[in-house]
Amino acid sequence: MSKDIEKETYTHWFWDETYVFHYKNSPGNYPEYLEFFNISGMDDRLEEAKKNAEYKEINLYVIPGKTMEDAFCRSTHYLTFLLNKYFRDVFEERHFRTGFMGKHMYNRVILTNTIYTEIMNFINDNKLLHIKDLLIELIAIAQHTYLEGVLMYIGNDFEKSITKIDSEIKKLETLFDIVSDKNRRDLRNRTHPAELISITAKFNKSVGQKISDKSITLTDSWIIKDFVKCYMQYFEQDLPYKGDWQKSLEHYGKNIYRDASEKLKFNFNLSVAIYNMLTKEKIICNDNSKDRTKILRFIVKFFDFALIPFKTKEDTIEFTEVQKMGHVRNYIKRHLKDPSFTYLSLPPNKDKLLKYFDIDFINLTTDNKSAETLGEAYFICNRFNILNLKDIISDLSHISQSFRLATLFSGHQLLTESNPNPPCDDYKAIRSLIEGLNGKKNLTQFKFKIEDVEYSLNERLPLYIIERALNNHFKNYKEDFEHDTIETKLIGGLNTQIFADRLHLPEERFIVKFVKSFYDYLSNEIKLNDCPEYLLEENYYRIIGLILQNNWFFYHKMDSENFIIEKVKHWHKLSQPSNILVINRNKALLK
């Protein structure tokens, strides 16, 4: 890597972890202070900004001296702990949901000397110098989150839409139910089914001279039927609960304004997070009314620094400090709660799982399940109407978490550069072949044997067909090349790997064994409510495919469910008794 590229990479990284404070120029207008300093670029104009007497640059979490002392390590880890524990729900970081430890968002802030002095006086007055870096970063994150993610939702009728969405979804459900094929095929209904005779679209302003009444009405029966049918197909085929428009509609209603709803709760969640941190960690005690007043005043001042207002756009008069404290008190009383869990202890029935899976596989993970894994297991149970919900969720989440760990070191085996000792000549040959094709190189000759008769292809057309076939297979079936190509065994933890001296047979790979075990578990232990017998096998394959896809087994999540089902069926077929003879014969030939 050249020095210019290294410098550019470092510059981008450095600015990614830098926050430039904003200021309120006018209602709804919050420019950066860099604009105040008349900066149009980054590093090229930064030196010019530093000449301004108001310029202030603060580096956070700076290591004192040349070595990292134990006291500094303990202090930094404590600040990271506070950030992760109390603010993970407020700032919506993905790693909090998936169970990974988060990191600090900003290591440098740029602001004015005036604002910096006010913040430091605020911190000193509350005797919080030991967590000053965290407080400055929290103010920066809160300000960024509010201005970039929350402000757009304030006063844009989102609150009205959120309160009305349940009734709107109920109307849509009634419409779908009336026009659905199930209702029309009901032989017990002796009366003629209701017919939809028109659909009217109204607009909030005139859309042209031809439409004076600001509305369009469709009355043709075929157009109306196709219009509603296409909308129903969207819920039946495109949303997560495929094949069940009722559940898709319910899911849609809960999630269409979910982001807006969470953003509108930002003030509440932030107030509660600060209150919980100050009281539960005894940073500011909550023993008497004087302490509680001090906490309320602290949160009000924090909001002021973060440019988070207490009034709505309809309010014309600025609130006093006492009124703001009253708002904060109401926020906390109405919304006080503990942070959402990242992990939950939910032990599975290991005796049941060991009937189908190897003990090494089951023991890969603990009883602690991540919130994301539990959510995926609940979704599967709800979608497929699985009975014994609690027991099955614990089993599915355990299987899913173990699968993710089992495949962690068995992927990326062919094209990875971390394997300096190739196990055999075939490994080197197929790796060179795929690398060459990925590098846009052409085959010039291809030799192969069929029943001991050797053939050689030299013409461009057959070589072109082989290139296309291999490229397409690598694109659509990458796991065939990369996952468990050579034997991998985990011993004494997740970092120990043992490679065999040959490539795996197709039937020997872990995914084939896993699909066989998982299918046997589902067919014997799972009961799908209201599922016709002829669809049971298809739904078992679908559940297995969802677990594989949710754990990134295919390296992405773009494949359709039907495409994944065909892969799962193929692996299950490889595990059938008719293929055991093939496995034994192939092993004998290898010897």
Task: Inform me whether the pLDDT recorded for 125 exceeds 50.
Answer: yes
Q: What pLDDT does residue 428 have?
A: 85
Q: How confident is the model at residue 136 (pLDDT cuts 50, 70, 90)?
A: very high
CB 357 within 8 A of CB 399: yes
Confidence of residue 143 (pLDDT cuts 50, 70, 90): very high
Asked whether the CA dihedral 379, 248, 383, 388 is positive or negative, the reply is: positive
Length of the chain: 591
- Only one residue has tokens 């026009």, namely 179
With CA atoms as reference, report the closest residue to 123 among 112, 134, 113.
Answer: 134
- DSSP H or E run through 370: strand 368-370
Between 535 and 69, the more confident residue is 535
Q: What is the pLDDT of residue 476?
A: 93
- Kindly report which listed range (16-25, 214-223, 372-381, 416-425) carries the lowest average pLDDT score: 416-425
Structure confidence at residue 7 (pLDDT): 47
Give residue 424's pLDDT: 82
Q: Across residues 436-451, what is the average pLDDT? A: 90
Over the stretch 356-383, which tens digit does the pLDDT of each residue have? Answer: 999 989 998 999 998 889 989 999 999 9
Among candidate residues 418, 559, 555, the one with its CA nearest the CA of residue 480? 555
Sign (positive or negative) of CA dihedral 91, 94, 98, 104: negative
pLDDT over 90 (residue 401):
yes
Q: Which of 402, 412, 561 is nearest to 483 (CA)?
A: 412
Most confident of 73-82, 270-279, 313-322: 270-279
* Cβ atoms 563, 475 nearer than 8 A: no
Could you give phi then psi for residue 328, rounded to 5 degrees? -65, -40
**Residue type, position 140, single letter:** A
Q: Can you tell me the distance from the alpha carbon of 291 to that of 283, in angstroms, rounded to the nearest whole number?
A: 11
Residue that has been written with the tokens 């495109």 in this structure: 238
Which range has the top average pLDDT, 152-156, 215-219, 557-561? 557-561
Which of 100, 95, 106 minimizes the C-alpha distance to 142?
A: 106
Q: Is the pLDDT of residue 3 over 60?
A: no
Lowest mean pLDDT among 70-74, 455-459, 530-534: 70-74
- 275 and 295 Cβ atoms separated by less than 8 Å: yes
Radius of gyration of the chain (CA): 31
**Average pLDDT, whole number, for the chain?**
82
Q: What is the mean pLDDT of residues 379-402?
A: 90
Going edge to edge, which strands form the sheet with 55-59? Answer: 18-20, 108-112, 55-59
pLDDT of residue 577: 74
Count of alpha carbons within 13 angstroms of residue 76, beta-carbon side:
15
Among 58-67, 102-111, 330-339, 468-477, which range has the highest average pLDDT? 468-477
| Helices within 126-204 (DSSP H only) | 132-145, 158-179, 181-184
pLDDT interval class at 10 (50, 70, 90): very low
Has residue 585 got a pLDDT over 70?
Answer: no
Range ranked top by mean pLDDT from 13-27, 313-327, 552-566: 552-566
C-alpha 268/C-alpha 259 separation (Å) is 15
Which residue's entry shows tokens 């890597």? Answer: 1
Separation in Å, CA 146 to CA 26, 28, 87, 140 = 16, 12, 14, 10
Query: Which pLDDT does position 314 carry in this prediction?
Result: 56
Which pLDDT score is estimated for 529?
85
pLDDT band at 190 (very low <50, low <70, confident <90, very high): low
Q: What tens digit of pLDDT does each residue of 508-560 get?
A: 899 999 999 999 999 999 888 888 888 899 999 999 999 999 999 999 889 99
Nearest alpha carbon to residue 135 among 274, 310, 15, 24: 274
Report pLDDT digits (tens) over 75-104: 888 888 888 888 888 886 665 555 555 678
**Tell me, what amino acid is at 176?**
F
Count CB atoms within 10 A of the CB of residue 205. Answer: 5
H or E, element range at 570? helix 561-574
Positive or negative CA dihedral for 20, 24, 30, 31? negative
